C-alpha cells in the first residue's frame, strides 16, 4: 500500500503517528466498496499540502508511518478481528498514536478489544449517522450494524450525529446510563457552541478513543459512504468538535470507517485524506505532550 502523504522514507521508530489501513469488508449491506477505502484515501493523500494554514504548522514533521505488514483473511470475520486486535496491541506497545482506516465499521470492535485487554481506561466518542448498537444483524453479532454494542456494555460512549436507528436500539439507549446521544436533529436546532460544550461535558474520562464513520457528514459533502443519510454535519462543524475535543482530552487513537469510493469522483477521497491530516495537526498541536 502507498504511504500516507507519500511520506515513505521514515521509520516507525522515528514516527509519532502510525496510519494503519484495515480494508475489511464482509458484512456491509447497502453500497459495497469499503474495502477499497484505505487505498483510495492513501492515494488521495499524495495531493495534500503538508502545511496546515489553520494551525500554522507542518503536522507531518512529527513523523507519519504507514503500517502495512498485516493479513486479514478474506471472508473470515472472526479471524480478521483477532488479527486486528493483535496488530493494534503491537502498535500500542510501541507508544505511538494510531489512526486506523477502514474498511467497514466492524474493525472498531477488534480495535477496542485491544485497548481493553491492555488495561486502558477510556471513553468512546462515536461520530455516525447510525447508532450501530444492534445486538445482531443478518445473523451475526459481528456486523457493522453492531460495531459499538460490545463496547457499550463496558465503556462510556458519546454518540454524535445519529439520525437513523432501530426501535430496539432506541430502547437499548434509554436503558443505558453510560450512552449519551447527540441527535442530528438536536444539533441543528441548538446553539452549536453549547452543543460542543455539552459533548465535552458528556465525555467522562480524560482518555478518549474516537471512531469516525464518514456518513456522519451531510452526503452533499461526503457522498462516498455505504449508507448515506439525509442531514448530517458539515466539514467545519466536524472540525470544530474535533478541535475542542483534542484541546480538552487525551486522544488515545482514532479510526475512520465506511468510506466507499465512487469511481471518477475524487473529491470525497481527498476530503477523507484531508480530515485525517487535520487530525495529525490537532494531535501535534494539542495532544502530543499529553501522550508523551
pLDDT 10s digits, 123-154: 999 999 999 898 765 556 656 668 899 999 99
144 against 22, higher pLDDT: 22
Q: Is 132 annotated as a binding residue?
A: yes
**pLDDT tens track for 35-80:** 899 999 999 999 999 999 999 999 999 999 999 877 776 668 889 9
Range of the domain at 223: 4-287
| Domain presence at residue 173 | yes
CA distance readout (Å), 130 to 53, 125, 166, 170 = 32, 13, 9, 11
pLDDT at 254 over 60: yes
Contacts for 277 with CB less than 8 Å, ≥ 6 apart = 5, 45, 48, 52, 59, 60
Average pLDDT, the chain: 93
Q: Work out how many domains the chain is built from and give that number.
A: 1
Q: Is 57 annotated as a binding residue?
A: no
| Domain presence at residue 247 | yes
**Residue 30: predicted pLDDT:** 56
Q: How far is it, in rounded angstroms, from Cα 127 to Cα 131? A: 9
| Domain presence at residue 280 | yes
Q: Is 188 annotated as a binding residue?
A: no
| Domain presence at residue 292 | no
Q: Is 248 annotated as a binding residue?
A: no
| Domain presence at residue 137 | yes
Q: Among residues 182, 184, 211, which one has the least CA distance to residue 197? A: 182
pTM: 0.95
| Domain presence at residue 162 | yes
Q: Is 56 annotated as a binding residue?
A: no
Contacts for 118 with CB less than 8 Å, ≥ 6 apart = 89, 92
* Cell numbers representing residue 186 in the block: 438536536
Q: Is 14 annotated as a binding residue?
A: no
pLDDT at 163 over 60: yes
| Domain presence at residue 184 | yes
CATH number of the structural domain spanning residue 56: 3.40.800.10
Amino acid at each position: 500500500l502507498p504511504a500516507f502523504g507519500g511520506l515513505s522514507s521514515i521509520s516507525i521508530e522515528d514516527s509519532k503517528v502510525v496510519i494503519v489501513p484495515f480494508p475489511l469488508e464482509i458484512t456491509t449491506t447497502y453500497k459495497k466498496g469499503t474495502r477499497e477505502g484505505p487505498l483510495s484515501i492513501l492515494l488521495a493523500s499524495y495531493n495534500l499540502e503538508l502545511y496546515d494554514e489553520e494551525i500554522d504548522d507542518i503536522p507531518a514533521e512529527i513523523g507519519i508511518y504507514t503500517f502495512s505488514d498485516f493479513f486479514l483473511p478474506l471472508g473470515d470475520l472472526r479471524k480478521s478481528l483477532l488479527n486486528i486486535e493483535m496488530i493494534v496491541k503491537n502498535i500500542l506497545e510501541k507508544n505511538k498514536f494510531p489512526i486506523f482506516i477502514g474498511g467497514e465499521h466492524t474493525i472498531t470492535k477488534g480495535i477496542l478489544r485491544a485497548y481493553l485487554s491492555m488495561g486502558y481506561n477510556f471513553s468512546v466518542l462515536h461520530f455516525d449517522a447510525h447508532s450501530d448498537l444492534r445486538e445482531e444483524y443478518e445473523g451475526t453479532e459481528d456486523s457493522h450494524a453492531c460495531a459499538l454494542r460490545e463496547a457499550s456494555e463496558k465503556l462510556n460512549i458519546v454518540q454524535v450525529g445519529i439520525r437513523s436507528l432501530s426501535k430496539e436500539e432506541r430502547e437499548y439507549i434509554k436503558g443505558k446510563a453510560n450512552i449519551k446521544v447527540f441527535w442530528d436533529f438536536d444539533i441543528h436546532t441548538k446553539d452549536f457552541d453549547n452543543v460542543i460544550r455539552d459533548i465535552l461535558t458528556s465525555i467522562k474520562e480524560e482518555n478518549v478513543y474516537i471512531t469516525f464513520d464518514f456518513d456522519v457528514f451531510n452526503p452533499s459533502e461526503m457522498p462516498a459512504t455505504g449508507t448515506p443519510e439525509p442531514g448530517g454535519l458539515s466539514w467545519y462543524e466536524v472540525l470544530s468538535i474535533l478541535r475542542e475535543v483534542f484541546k480538552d482530552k487525551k486522544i488515545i487513537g482514532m479510526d475512520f470507517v465506511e468510506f466507499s469510493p465512487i469511481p471518477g469522483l475524487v473529491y470525497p477521497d481527498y476530503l477523507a485524506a484531508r480530515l485525517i491530516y487535520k487530525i495529525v495537526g490537532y494531535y501535534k498541536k494539542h495532544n502530543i505532550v499529553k501522550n508523551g
